[in-house]
Amino acid sequence: EMKLKGVNLHHDLGALGSAVSSDAIVRQLRIMKSMGVNAVRTSHNPPSPEFVRACEEMGILLLVEAFDTWRTQKVKYDYGRFFDVNSGADLREMVHAAKNSPSVVMWSIGNEIPDSSSAAGPPIARRLIDEVRAIDTTRPIVMGTDRYRSVPAPGSPQDQILQMLDGLGVNYNNASSIDGLHARYPTKFFFEGESSSSTSTRGYYQDPDQLNTGENYTPGKRNTSSYDNNLETWTYS
């Protein structure tokens, strides 16, 4: 038995952007391990082969995630424009690329998906789950979500989707909501997919003893501290 002590790690590498650098990946993962991390969620897209290989070599487990949006877009130029045409092939490519890795312990079909609370959601979820299981039946399939902060009504889109999944990564839920989900879905497993966020501005330092919550939209005063003492409004820990 192992307790997963994970982080959501985006694919960009600071000033390097999205270009893959094996050395930068190893450096990043070493920093994660130094703070006790033993698992990574690839938020919110498939990882590079170099990232998977580095996790194998360093003994880090992986929740490999496919999408940050399905059909309904979050921003104007996001993946939602291509979802209906490309999602099947992209998902299959993700699973084939990482299915033989001993680091991979779960697959995720999405993060905070707007469609998951609409009538369009369950058929899409069914298709994505079937795509994964056609290739790999050995690992659980989950989703990261901010749409289960109360127990779904029977037959609702959220209820239908959760019945299909093996488990659920809940984002910023409180303890009582988790208890309610456990009671309603005793055969599913739940984990805290996201619980805390901070923002910072490079080279700008505020009083380290002052904890700030929320965003400052005042023109000219939008800097946040490099001390990581600016917490977002949705933070739960």
Catalytic pick among 57, 93, 194, 215: 194
Angle at which helices 49-58 and 83-98 cross, to 10° = 30
User: Does the annotation count 131 as an active-site position?
Assistant: no
Name the token pair of 208. 């380290």
Residue 100: count other Cβ atoms within 10 Å of its Cβ.
9
For the record, the structure tokens of 36 come out as 């006790």
Cis amide prior to 44 (ω within 30 degrees): yes
Among residues 65, 112, 192, 232, the one annotated as catalytic is 112
194 classed as catalytic:
yes
Distance (Å, rounded) from C-alpha 227 to C-alpha 213?
14
Give the torsion through C-alpha atoms of 187, 191, 193, 196, to 10 deg: 150
- Which residues have a catalytic role annotated? 112, 194
